[in-house]
Amino acid sequence: MTEHLHLHKNTKFLSLFHTIKSTIFTKASSFTTNAATPWNTHLRNLSKHGQYKEALVLYRQMLQSGATPNAFTFPFALKSSASLSLPITGKQLHCHVIKLGCEYEPFVQTALMSMYCRCKLTEFAQKVFDEMPQRNITVCYNALISGYVQNGNFLNGFLLFDEMRLRGVLFNAVTVLGLVPGCTASRYLWLGMSLHCLNVKCGLVNDLAVANCLLTMYVRCACMELARKLFDHIPEKGLITWNAMISGYAQNGLAGEVLELYHEMELLQVNPDAVTFVGVLSACANLGAQKIGFEVEEKIRSSCMRWNVFLKNALINMYARCGNLAKARIVFDEMPEKSLVSWTAIIGGYGIHGLGNIAVELFDKMIESGIQPDGTVFVSVLSACSHAGLTAKGLNYLDLMKREYGLKPCSEHYSCVVDLLGRAGRLEEARKLIELMEDKPDGAVWGALLGACKIHKNVELAELAFNKVVELEPTNVGYYVLLSNIYTEANNSEGILRVRLMMRERKLKKDPGYSYFECKGKTYLFVAGDRSHPQTKEIYKLLNRLENTEGEYAGANENGQEVTNQEPSNIIGVHSERLAIAFALLNTGIGTDIVVIKNLRICNDCHSFVKRVSKTVDRLFVVRDATRFHHFRNGTCSCNDYW
């Protein structure tokens, strides 16, 4: 009985002891948490506003003050370490996490995995994941899946997604947003389409962020029809959705669709932003739609985006490619601060217009201003030298980029220099330069030599260049046409027949030629032999007169139309630029400059035709073909018959 009483007293004492101990521990823990709270609040604010260095300094001050970090401290510190790409600091924080017993908190684990992935240490992120006692937490899977995809290891991310589903862990929109960007490579498109189907089944496709992500995937894989179908099925489109579609069309060369979508956007009163305008200006540059580009500039000037450097650069490019180099220069000169891209745009603009001397002057000014050139601006200046025949200057720039700036020339630089030497008739030097290239020459390099062979009628070297280029680009029709033209000028009927046979065997067809002309804000398209235009009769009458007359063309009447009683020509297959020029003469006033944009290189016959017309008609004719601008006036061309 006494023994039992003692035991009861001891048990009661031990119970009281544990209660007191637990209370003390809880109060101490509460005190620690409360002590850390103001530090955590400050850390969160710094991290939220991107002040990552200050956040890490504050974390160190927290340790020095004697305050103990807790599970709410580490996510902000780890995020700061990840954003600054400081893996050593991140590992030290990981040690603190373990030391303070916070390693099993899900949001700390997620922050650790995100940190390691951002620092390109996915193997450490995987270890954190593998050491989790419970691997059924969605946010942790999301962090690792996203990390794998961001580090270019899409297959590991997808395998982890499979494991996630097998374990019955629910996936959400964040999972999809982490996984879909990995499907932008064409070889994984089928997986992206499978994810799209899964999202439809689970209802996640109704999430606008998911829909935008899938739309971007289709755009980057150049599947514009699928992208448009998805776009049309999104019930409430945000600005990001419109921009994704507009940018996609612009990047895939579908300029007409860009302007149609932009017009639809205007009708629905969706307010565009800088991203929208960049895509629209790119489309205007491709189509030569200068009037629409001017309207966009007016909107930019009347908004808070008027000093946006990206938009200014897009405007320079648009005006230069629409043939209005003077306006491009005004935009450039107005810029208070010019970026490397700004200089590249204006130098490239002067280059494609054949004004190589001005392009070279601008490049030298850029260097004097202290801006460090990159490979892209060297491509622009080398191309400008090539179009203007500045051989010595171009060769000097190639040496300068290697010797002075330590830049390794790539195929684009070499193709410019091969073109430069080739146009100057130094074909053997061009061939030797190709042989001395460190990297294997691509199709553009051999294509430049092939083009030079056409200028100088070197059939033997042309055949060598052609054999090389079709090994690299067997489906590029342009090279077959180029060799065929070389054989035609050499009266080599056997060679012409051989090229045609090769094209037939490989089921290749020459791209149809077409030309654009903008009149009163509307863009008119003409194809070779086109007779579908309402003014066809007048166009062919005028062409007949321009082809046959030896006298001077009287010009247009007060309505901008030329009057003649001559019957239309029966010419079949008239090239598109001739039709566009005739239409322009009929529909513009006397003295108006005429700018025509063609998708292919202008042929010798059409080049000679426009020179003759410019001598007969007192107008400036500007033709932009696939490689450059030609300015025709008084029977001469700015290219000096050198294109």
Give the tens place of pLDDT for each residue, 280-290.
999 999 888 89
Sheet of 629-633, strands arranged across = 522-527, 514-519, 594-598, 621-624, 629-633, 636-637
What is residue 353's predicted lDDT score, i.e. its pLDDT? Answer: 92
pLDDT at 8: 42
For residue 327, give the 3-state DSSP assignment. Answer: helix
Q: What is the mean pLDDT of residues 2-14?
A: 42
Could you give the CA distance from residue 499 to residue 442 in angstroms, rounded to a whole number? 21
pLDDT of 552 higher than 60: no
Average pLDDT value for the chain = 87
pLDDT of residue 51: 93
Q: How far is CA 444 from CA 128, 234, 419, 424, in A?
A: 48, 41, 10, 18
Domains and CATH numbers, the chain: 134-236 (no CATH), 412-510 (1.25.40.10), 514-545+573-637 (no CATH)
| Across 520-542, average pLDDT | 87
Q: Give pLDDT, residue 38.
A: 87
Q: Specify the higher pLDDT residue, 58 or 552.
A: 58
Give the C-alpha separation, 374 to 418, whole Å: 20
User: CA 97 → CA 30, 80, 84, 93, distances in Å?
Assistant: 18, 15, 19, 6
Look at residue 24 and tell me whether its pLDDT is greater than 70: no
What crossing angle do the helices spanning 340-352 and 325-334 adopt, rounded to 10°?
160
**What pLDDT, on the 0 to 100 scale, is given for residue 22?**
39
State the pLDDT confidence band at 531, using cuts at 50, 70 and 90: confident
Q: What is the pTM of this model?
A: 0.80
The whole-angstrom separation of Cα 62 and Cα 100 is: 15
Residue 27: pLDDT band with limits 50, 70, 90? very low
State residue 573's pLDDT score. 65
Asked if residue 52 has pLDDT above 80, the reply is yes
| pLDDT tens-digit readout, 431-459 | 999 999 989 999 999 999 999 998 899 99
Half-sphere exposure of 101 (CA within 13 A, CB side): 2
Gyration radius of the chain over CA positions? 34
Residue 553 has pLDDT above 50, yes or no: no
- Which pLDDT value is given to residue 10? 46
Give the model confidence (pLDDT) of 210-250 as tens digits.
999 999 999 999 999 999 999 999 988 999 999 999 999 99
| Average pLDDT for 151-174 | 91
Out of 31-45, 82-96, 420-434, least confident range = 31-45
The region that residue 185 occupies, defined by phi over 0 for left and psi between -120 and 50 for alpha, beta otherwise, is beta
Tokens of 456: 């100088």
> 482-522, pLDDT tens digit by residue?
999 899 989 999 999 999 999 999 988 887 889 989 888 78
Least confident of 101-115, 182-196, 428-442, 470-484: 182-196
562 pLDDT exceeds 60?
Answer: no
User: 603 pLDDT exceeds 60?
Assistant: yes
Of the candidates 436, 484, 485, 444, the one whose C-alpha atom is nearest the C-alpha of residue 468 is: 444
Mean pLDDT of the 44-52 span: 91
Phi/psi of residue 408, nearest 5 degrees: -85, 120
Confidence band of 574 (pLDDT split at 50, 70, 90): confident
Per-residue pLDDT of 384-435, as tens digits, reads: 999 888 999 999 999 999 999 999 999 999 999 999 999 899 999 999 999 9
Backbone angles phi, psi at 92, to 5 degrees: -65, -40
Cβ atoms of residues 177 and 209 within 8 Å: yes
CA-CA distance, 58 to 102, in Å (whole number)?
20
pLDDT number for residue 136: 72
Rounded to an integer, the average pLDDT of 572-595 is 89
Q: What is the mean pLDDT of residues 610-638?
A: 90
**Residues 284, 285, 287, 292, Cα dihedral to 10°:** 30
What's residue 530's pLDDT?
A: 79
- What per-residue confidence (pLDDT) applies to 34? 53
Tokens 């962020």 found at: 209
**Distance from C-alpha of 278 to C-alpha of 105, rounded to nearest angstrom:** 45
Note whether 451 and 482 are within 8 A (CB): yes
The residue whose two tokens read 């908004």 is 303
Residue 226, strand partner residues: none
Q: What value does the mean pLDDT take over residues 170-194?
A: 89
The answer to whether 116 and 122 have CB atoms below 8 angstroms apart is yes
- Would you give the DSSP letter of residue 620? -
- Looking at residue 513, its pLDDT comes to 85
Q: Which pLDDT belongs to residue 605?
A: 86
Beta-bridge partners for 525 = 516
* Percentage with pLDDT > 90 across the chain: 66
Q: Are 321 and 288 in contact (CB under 8 A)?
A: yes
In angstroms, the Cα distances linking 610 to 293, 594, 622 are 27, 11, 9
Do residues 575 and 513 lie in contact, with contact meaning Cβ atoms separated by under 8 Å? yes
Q: What is the pLDDT of residue 203?
A: 87
Dist. CA 365–CA 348, nearest whole Å = 15
